[in-house]
Amino acid sequence: MLKIKEQLLSALAQCLEAMGEGLGAKAAFESPKLASHGDLAVTAALSLSKALKTNPRELALQLKAALERSPSFIDWVEGIEIAGPGFLNIRLKPRAKQGVVRDILTQSAKFGHHESTGQRVLVEFVSANPTGPLHVGHARQAALGDALCNLFETQGMGVHREFYYNDAGVQIDTLAKSTWCRIRGIEPGHSEWPEQAYQGDYIADIAKAFLAKETVKSDDREFTASGDAEDLEGIRNFAVAYLRREQDLDLASFALKFDEFYLESSLYTSSRVETAVKDMIESGHTYEKDGALWLQSTDFGDDKDRVMRKSEGGYTYFVPDVAYHLSKWERGYHQVINIQGTDHHGTIARVRAGLQAVSRVRELGIPSTYPQYVLHTMVRVMKGGQEVKISKRAGSYVTLRDLIEWTSRDAVRFFLLSRKPDTEYLFDVDLAVAKNNDNPVYYVQYAHARICSILMKEGLMQASSLDTDVFDAGDKAEHAKGVLDFERLLSFDLTPLQSEVAQQLMLTLAKYPEVLESAARDLAPHDLTFYLRELAASYHSYYDQERILVEEAHLKQARLALVGAVAQVLRNGLALLGVSVPLKM
């Protein structure tokens, strides 16, 4: 159906171009507000009437006549109606809508995907300091980042997933000191306990492992503890490695993999920070004041100038960020998206200002909007009707691991993607474990499982081996991968799919490629969760109104092909969100 829509759009553009040069670029279809109004809507007559000095309804009449003469509209359109002051409502022929079923069954997992464009994008997300467990904010970043990367890949883009570790600076010193205190038996509440120390139980776990001379191995390092309470550097290195391993385990439990872990410390050892500072000074956009070095970021639109090097020595935290983003550009990633909490909003202008200063010196041509940012608000957690604010594990916040243990990976991913990133989100643990239609992830998964039971009964789907990269542990029969018999389904005649409810379901299926495109373009993975809920609702409505396993063979086969296509799209969409697709529930 996508090709049919492209043909119709091309015909609309030609008709508009005939009315005036350049008007073809205004060709667009919209979805009617009510399904009863038609399948596609055109509002061009309203928007162009002033430029063409013609009454919009009169213009709509002219456009309708021109479209009705177009071969594409003759082939695929059942009728065109004029409504209101000049809306055109278009009704497609049933066979035009039926085409989407064949497209889905033919393309299966690749339905809605584009060929490679050669475009590359680097997405940086999670990027937690190695000073504690991943919290619910990191969980939201993880869900957002992974889903966005998957969406970009559907649009033919080459994606690089990157995790930036702030393994240098004050927070690491605080981690080492906190662990050292625990090793010496100094606990929170003790008179010698530092005011800014980390208080979670995980610090005690690190101290215990250090004294036991354990060896810990993470993605990028391995370290064996000396067990010496006076080995401050060893304590520091062991604590970072220990928490790196813990975060790796958290990421693995969330089925999240990164292409690269980039260390802040490497920016210093490679002299990238010093080189970036030298170039910012050379740009003429810095000055000395009160013993500190300042970046004149107001030259680039910031609301005030920013300190680069403090009077007591040491760079402020945005300086290595500038060096880091220069490395991204130099690695060939000219589209970069950072997913961070809204508390990072203030860093955007100063990082971009630093990049512009260096770009002018090196003649790099970095755009003023580089990098792009997706900022998310905080996540609040409700459990048993009360807000949960403290985790025993972390000491001061709810962790990603807590959420997964209380609910499931599926629920955490789907729930945290079900709102716009800049909308504060209330994660309801009780709702996330409820097995009813109020639970959005259950509602969507149940639609898939409901279809699978029908298809398996008819021998049109078989359960294969467990896909461990996608599915949660549990009942293997429930989480095994279902394989559709595409050959048989494609052999079925779709002509009997004439009912209004069947055609509405096919129209909903046809929206999927556009949802992928817009969600990737607008950095809005929540659009996909909305769509999957809409598709599940459309299927449940269809199931309630039309029996699928009827006696008439040709009618039953057509309906089986339709619901098989629905199952495939549900599976495709959930996979992009990192959510499993159980065969039964």
At 313-336, the pLDDT tens digits run 999 989 999 999 999 999 999 999
CB atoms within 10 A of CB 65: 11
Which spans in 28-133 are helix H?
44-52, 56-68, 71-76, 94-107
* Residue 254 and residue 163 share a domain: yes
* Residue 155 and residue 37 share a domain: no
Which residues does 429 contact at the CB level (< 8 Å), separation at least 6? 381, 382, 383, 384, 388, 403, 406, 407
Find, among 1, 101, 84, the residue nearest to 42 by Cα.
84
* Residue 510 and residue 406 share a domain: no
Q: Domain count of the chain? A: 5
Report the SS3 class of residue 116: coil
Judge whether 567 lies within some domain: yes
* Residue 140 and residue 251 share a domain: yes
Q: Position of tokens 């495109």?
A: 517
Judge whether 110 lies within some domain: no
Provide the whole-model pTM.
0.89
Where does a domain end: 269, 296, 315? 269
Amino acid at 284: G
Judge whether 121 lies within some domain: no
Query: What is the extent of the structural domain holding 50?
Result: 2-92
Residue 257 contacts residue 161 (beta carbons within 8 Å): yes
Tell me the CA distances in angstroms from 201 to 197, 198, 308, 517, 528, one per residue in order. Answer: 12, 9, 36, 45, 38
Judge whether 102 lies within some domain: no
CB atoms within 10 A of CB 53: 7
Tell me the CA distances in angstroms from 402 to 385, 388, 459, 469, one per residue in order. Answer: 17, 11, 40, 21
Outline where DSSP puts E strands in 393-518.
425-428, 461-466, 480-484
CA 469 to chain CA centroid, nearest Å: 18
* Residue 181 and residue 70 share a domain: no
Tell me the CA distances in angstroms from 103 to 111, 154, 543, 565, one per residue in order. Answer: 7, 16, 22, 9
Judge whether 26 lies within some domain: yes
Query: So what's the pLDDT on residue 199?
Result: 85
* Residue 239 and residue 296 share a domain: no
Judge whether 118 lies within some domain: no
* Residue 224 and residue 132 share a domain: yes
Read off the CATH number of the domain in which 148 is found: 3.40.50.620
Judge whether 99 lies within some domain: no
**C-alpha to C-alpha distance for 306 and 293, rounded to whole angstroms:** 9
* Residue 573 and residue 493 share a domain: yes
Outline where DSSP puts E strands in 254-409.
260-263, 286-289, 292-295, 306-309, 336-341, 372-376, 379-383, 386-388
CB atoms within 10 A of CB 229: 15
* Residue 518 and residue 455 share a domain: yes
Q: How many CA atoms lie within 13 A of 34 on its CB side?
A: 3
Q: Flag residues of the chain having pLDDT under 50.
A: 466-479
Judge whether 97 lies within some domain: no
Query: So what's the pLDDT on residue 429?
Result: 97
* Residue 396 and residue 345 share a domain: no
Query: So what's the pLDDT on residue 395?
Result: 63
Query: So what's the pLDDT on residue 470?
Result: 39
